[in-house]
Chain A
């Protein structure tokens, strides 16, 4: 199979890679770019553990071919904190114990960050529907909803 050459931006850094045309964006992030934060829970777009942003939109990394990334700006969980500072969402996930095993956490943080960029003051119901594509088997979502809601409030306060 002929390999393809792709140029893109990942978490603000310019990257270049070659890939098999069958490889997904998730495969390339994990296996070629050593960014293993995004997880493969199903490979069929049902669980959201591989959630990333592509030009600002939340997508499942497992449903996107890496070859489609040419020229795109990709965001992953590794890019959420800036410098040594954790994002308000990350801080609140820790404070609220909003993770148990932590496998869904990267995808949920990526999706929640996109929510708050679009809607800085979501209701609990809006949070639940936005995150309905991100499965968590450990927490029952209670503490996740509280963490997202509190992070949103903090971010509004801090402008």
Chain B
């Protein structure tokens, strides 16, 4: 545990402070350029024709009337993309442009590019599509039944046991011990079924891009994305061009939460551009965002837990059925792996089923799969505590995973901070505050793995002693500030001497997407390593000037110094001084680092919620909310708090209001912010935060990553608060007024 001890002892100068973010002024003055803010000379406007049916065979597409419009310069269908794709590329192509069948309401069927946005929309109306409507299914439990319509045959992989419906496409299990033996020793066993509806990531910026692809196979793409390297790679495959010939620039991104980790309109704009040989811009409408981009999965889950009278959990079992739209990929394995992750269990068994339905292909949403699993497990634990008369935090502490605990998903944990979050929650004034009549309190823990991923960073010195840092991970919530802080810390110079740029795909090595809470961890680690590489080169220049060995030079407070009296008597020389002379002492000084780091640190959170339920209307209000989470090390505490608060707010929406509502016809009935209601300012209380710092030994400064764990506990914490307020267990999300009234009526009827 050397790394841990070193980190704990370390005194930081820049890390842990709260400087103004480098892109801040651009973003409060309207200067920042987001996806839809790009224009090009000769630019055409693209628009996409979408299926009005949940499931239909595309018999014929007649675009002749649209083609006859003088404003129309190109029309594309799936025939205009690469042939012979396989695996996920094939699925992505099918999703962004239908082939033989439309698989969900909103599925793209054709696209046009025209001289104006109005003309493009008019042209869509002139494309005739003949559909043969097929039976559809949009519910996960229905889709698994024997007589369910087949969404796509042959989509299942080898993990699925024989005899399952073709809509069941993947199977997963994890666990250890003997759950039946464990249940036999319990004083109380509770089993319950839970359901959650699909929620959309709800970023306020619709997908937007500007594409240029010439007949020579060379292209430029500007888009709002969480990962321009990945977007470029997929687009190149779908268009059948060389990845290196497509330069992708990430715009400022107006929210993603996982939903902008893949492509939708980008390959379509490129295909239109190639056909028209002019730049093409596509901006999705909000309805298109809801109908055709990834919401998260909906889930149906059975959880059974046994507990002794003293609170010891003797066994836990869960079955997690998730639908992820018309393609494989629903994150059921993460539900199964995360649900019991906070606990030290002798006997645990989890099963996951990935099921396809006639809905849009799910996309990652902040800790994909984990919030649903936590909702089910943490609700049952709460019910056990209620019936056994036990304190919910004490019970969680009694069973809490610690360093060395064998996780439900297999490995033994290194140093983790779950117990610290529970202790901080117990000590928080919120936990002992009295409740008003009609209010209930809820507690939940949550877990997420956090991710590392491929990462490349470059750090160049300017002659005036300032630093240009290039990263390849789009900045989705202030990461350029934390990169500047870590570089400043490692170099020993001030924060404002550094400018961090999200470099395009032609300028830097490959970088994985900004997802998995990985940016501050992985790009941060790479930044520190690149700074150390730079320091090594700076020390070498000083050593050469002094005529001593490189090893006899150390770097302290932004200066090269002789390592000790034996190294010789030399005045320390600053970074700025060495940089000013670098052209004459060996040329440009650039540090870099590229790797797939392996030390991502798992993280845990404990949330406390007070909720008030109106038994007349079924309306619920969250009146107090406290997030306690282990950040490892908070580089910029304000943005860490912001991630905590944002995750809690999204969780409140998912728990209380947000859901995809499908009609009998399989069409999405609420593709807009009026009917798909995300929390507004007047819905929420202040959200208190406690940052716990149990350093991750796998990062030089202890960072774990914070973006995702914050959405793992809220569904359960709110459900527990609402259930305790209403006096009846709520097992279906969202807990909208009609569902709460139904539960209250059922309880009254006994």
Interface residues of A (CB under 8 A from B): 1, 20, 22, 30-31, 35-44, 46-47, 49, 76-78, 80-81, 86, 89-90, 93-97, 99-106, 109, 124-125, 127-129, 131-145
Chain B residues positioned under 8 Å from A137 (CB to CB): 201-204, 255, 257, 646, 650, 678
Chain B residues positioned under 8 Å from A125 (CB to CB): 682
The stretch of B20-28, B179-187, B394-402 that contacts the partner chain? B20-28
Q: Is the CB of A44 within 8 A of B37?
A: no
Nearest chain A CB to B544 CB, angstrom units: 43
Q: Is the CB of B18 within 8 A of A109?
A: no
Q: Is the CB of A135 within 8 A of B25?
A: no
Nearest residue (CB) in B for A141 is B681
Q: Is the CB of A99 within 8 A of B28?
A: yes
Chain A residues positioned under 8 Å from B739 (CB to CB): none
Nearest residue (CB) in B for A79 is B30
Chain B residues positioned under 8 Å from A131 (CB to CB): 680-682
Q: Is the CB of B645 within 8 A of A132?
A: no
A120 to B89, CA, bound (A): 55
On whether A39 and B204 interact (CB within 8 A), knowing A44-B286, A129-B682, A142-B687, the answer reads: yes
Nearest residue (CB) in A for B28 is A90
For this complex, 10 residue pairs linking A to B, each with C-beta atoms less than 8 Å apart, are: A38-B30, A39-B36, A46-B286, A94-B28, A101-B204, A101-B256, A104-B204, A135-B678, A140-B646, A142-B686
Partner of A36, one of B37, B256, B643, B646: B37
Chain A interface, DSSP helix/strand/loop, else mixed: loop
Nearest chain B CB to A119 CB, angstrom units: 15
Q: Is the CB of B205 within 8 A of A103?
A: yes
Nearest chain B CB to A48 CB, angstrom units: 9
Nearest residue (CB) in A for B37 is A36
Nearest residue (CB) in A for B116 is A20
Partner of B204, one of A22, A49, A86: A49
Q: Is the CB of B680 within 8 A of A77?
A: no
On whether A80 and B477 interact (CB within 8 A), knowing A40-B206, A47-B204, the answer reads: no
Q: Is the CB of A76 within 8 A of B36?
A: no
Q: Is the CB of B255 within 8 A of A101?
A: yes
Chain A residues positioned under 8 Å from B256 (CB to CB): 101
On whether A139 and B646 interact (CB within 8 A), knowing A38-B30, A103-B254, the answer reads: yes
Chain B contact-residue range equals 35 or more
Q: Is the CB of B646 within 8 A of A145?
A: no
Taken residue by residue from 640 to 657, chain B's Cβ proximity to chain A (1 for < 8 Å, 0 otherwise) reads as 011101101110000000
Partner of B18, one of A36, A97, A138: A97
Chain A residues positioned under 8 Å from B27 (CB to CB): 99, 102, 105
On whether A134 and B681 interact (CB within 8 A), knowing A36-B33, A81-B29, A101-B253, the answer reads: yes
B570 within 8 A of A: no
Q: Is the CB of A40 within 8 A of B649?
A: no
A134 to B256, CA, bound (A): 18
Interface residues of B (CB under 8 A from A): 18, 20-21, 23-25, 27-34, 36-37, 39, 116, 118, 201-206, 252-257, 283, 285-286, 476-478, 636, 638-639, 641-643, 645-646, 648-650, 672-674, 678-684, 686-687
Chain A residues positioned under 8 Å from B478 (CB to CB): 97, 100
Partner of A100, one of B476, B674, B681: B476
Q: Is the CB of B25 within 8 A of A101?
A: no
Nearest residue (CB) in A for B675 is A46
Q: What 11 new A-B contacts, CB under 8 Å, besides A109-B28, A134-B680, A142-B686?
A: A36-B37, A49-B204, A96-B638, A97-B642, A100-B639, A100-B642, A103-B203, A103-B255, A140-B645, A141-B649, A143-B641
Q: Is the CB of B673 within 8 A of A44?
A: yes
On whether A22 and B118 interact (CB within 8 A), knowing A44-B672, A135-B204, A137-B650, the answer reads: yes
Nearest chain A CB to B89 CB, angstrom units: 29
User: Which 5 residue pairs across A and B have the least CB separation, nearest first?
Assistant: A37-B30, A103-B254, A140-B649, A102-B27, A97-B638
The total of Cβ contacts below 8 Å across the A-B interface reads 184
On whether A139 and B649 interact (CB within 8 A), knowing A20-B118, A37-B30, the answer reads: yes
Q: Is the CB of A86 within 8 A of B477?
A: no
Q: Is the CB of B673 within 8 A of A42?
A: yes
Nearest residue (CB) in A for B27 is A102
Nearest residue (CB) in A for B672 is A44
Partner of A143, one of B34, B205, B642, B684: B642
Nearest chain A CB to B43 CB, angstrom units: 10
A90 to B601, CA, bound (A): 36
Chain A residues positioned under 8 Å from B201 (CB to CB): 137
Nearest residue (CB) in B for A31 is B39
A139 to B650, CA, bound (A): 9
Nearest chain B CB to A133 CB, angstrom units: 7
Q: Is the CB of A41 within 8 A of B206?
A: yes
Q: Is the CB of B34 within 8 A of A39?
A: yes
Nearest chain B CB to A52 CB, angstrom units: 11
A76 to B681, CA, bound (A): 22
A80 to B25, CA, bound (A): 12
Partner of A37, one of B31, B285, B648, B678: B31
Nearest residue (CB) in B for A133 is B680
Q: Is the CB of A46 within 8 A of B674?
A: yes
Q: Is the CB of B646 within 8 A of A100?
A: yes
Q: Is the CB of B674 within 8 A of A139?
A: no
A125 to B682, CA, bound (A): 7
Partner of A90, one of B29, B202, B476, B649: B29
Q: Is the CB of A42 within 8 A of B681?
A: no
Chain B residues positioned under 8 Å from A38 (CB to CB): 30
Nearest chain A CB to B339 CB, angstrom units: 25
B20, B204, B285 interface centre (most CB from chain A within 10 Å)? B204
Q: Is the CB of A102 within 8 A of B25?
A: no
On whether A140 and B687 interact (CB within 8 A), knowing A101-B205, A129-B682, the answer reads: yes
Nearest residue (CB) in B for A81 is B29
Chain B residues positioned under 8 Å from A89 (CB to CB): 28
Chain B residues positioned under 8 Å from A47 (CB to CB): 204, 286, 673
Q: Is the CB of B28 within 8 A of A128?
A: no
Chain B residues positioned under 8 Å from A42 (CB to CB): 286, 672-673
Chain A residues positioned under 8 Å from B684 (CB to CB): 128, 140-142
A13 to B112, CA, bound (A): 37
A47 to B677, CA, bound (A): 10
Nearest chain A CB to B40 CB, angstrom units: 13
Chain B residues positioned under 8 Å from A22 (CB to CB): 118
Q: Is the CB of B29 within 8 A of A138?
A: no
Nearest chain B CB to A140 CB, angstrom units: 3
A114 to B33, CA, bound (A): 24
Chain A residues positioned under 8 Å from B643 (CB to CB): 100
Q: Is the CB of A36 within 8 A of B30?
A: yes
Chain A residues positioned under 8 Å from B205 (CB to CB): 39, 41, 101, 103
Q: Is the CB of A40 within 8 A of B283?
A: yes
A37 to B30, CA, bound (A): 4
Nearest chain B CB to A73 CB, angstrom units: 18
Nearest chain B CB to A19 CB, angstrom units: 11
Chain B residues positioned under 8 Å from A138 (CB to CB): 255, 477, 642, 646
Nearest residue (CB) in B for A35 is B30
Chain B residues positioned under 8 Å from A128 (CB to CB): 681-682, 684
Nearest residue (CB) in A for B649 is A140
A80 to B650, CA, bound (A): 30
A120 to B279, CA, bound (A): 47
A47 to B286, CA, bound (A): 10
